[in-house]
Amino acid sequence: MTSTQAAPALGGSKLAAISNHVVRVVSDYTGRGPTKARSYLNENLVTVVLQDTLTKGERSLVGDDRDDLVLTMRKAYQCTMRGDLVAGIEEILGRKVTAFLSDNHIDPDLAVEVFLLAPVDHGNAG
């Protein structure tokens, strides 16, 4: 299930598309996508919060006190997914992503994907 926090000028459809894109990419790379995603847009910042992200194998490792290994693997996935995640955000919003940051948390099982957008060029007003 995905949901969005809409910016007034953007509407919910693009934020839903962002949530769906991130869930789809994570699923393609890890074999299982998060069960919940919520996207937020504030001027030049897109934040996607994911819940219930860990695979069965990762949950098993956490149960064996191997959180460090799970977080290391997740960081590797995030580096590998970067290109696909950024390309999708740029396509959906029609704006360039200048930075991508990503992190995971084990308990509770959360992840965050953050995209910093290039400022919108409003042209010369002068």
- What confidence tens digit (pLDDT) does each residue in 24-79 have? 999 999 999 999 999 999 999 999 999 999 999 999 999 999 999 999 999 999 99
Average pLDDT of the residues in 81-94: 98
If one counts the domains in the chain, the total is 1
Q: What is the pLDDT of residue 10?
A: 54
The answer as to whether 96 is a domain residue is yes
What is the distance, to the nearest Å, from the Cα of residue 117 to the centroid of all Cα atoms in its chain?
14
The answer as to whether 126 is a domain residue is no
**Total number of residues shown for the chain:** 126
The fraction of the chain above a pLDDT of 70, given in percent, is 88
User: Are the beta carbons of 69 and 61 closer than 8 angstroms?
Assistant: yes
Q: Which domain holds residue 60?
A: 2-117
Sheet with 2-5, strands from edge to edge, namely 2-5, 36-42, 45-51, 110-117, 97-105
The answer as to whether 47 is a domain residue is yes
Angle at 50 between CA 45 and CA 54, to 5 degrees: 140
The answer as to whether 30 is a domain residue is yes
The fraction of the chain above a pLDDT of 90, given in percent, is 85
The answer as to whether 125 is a domain residue is no
CA separation, residue 34 to residues 37, 43, 99 (Å): 7, 26, 23
CATH code (residue 77): 3.30.980
The answer as to whether 8 is a domain residue is yes
Number of H helices, E strands in the chain: 3, 5
Q: How confident is the model at residue 121 (pLDDT cuts 50, 70, 90)?
A: confident
The answer as to whether 57 is a domain residue is yes
Q: Pick the residue with more confidence: 122 or 86? A: 86
- Does position 14 have pLDDT exceeding 50, yes or no? yes
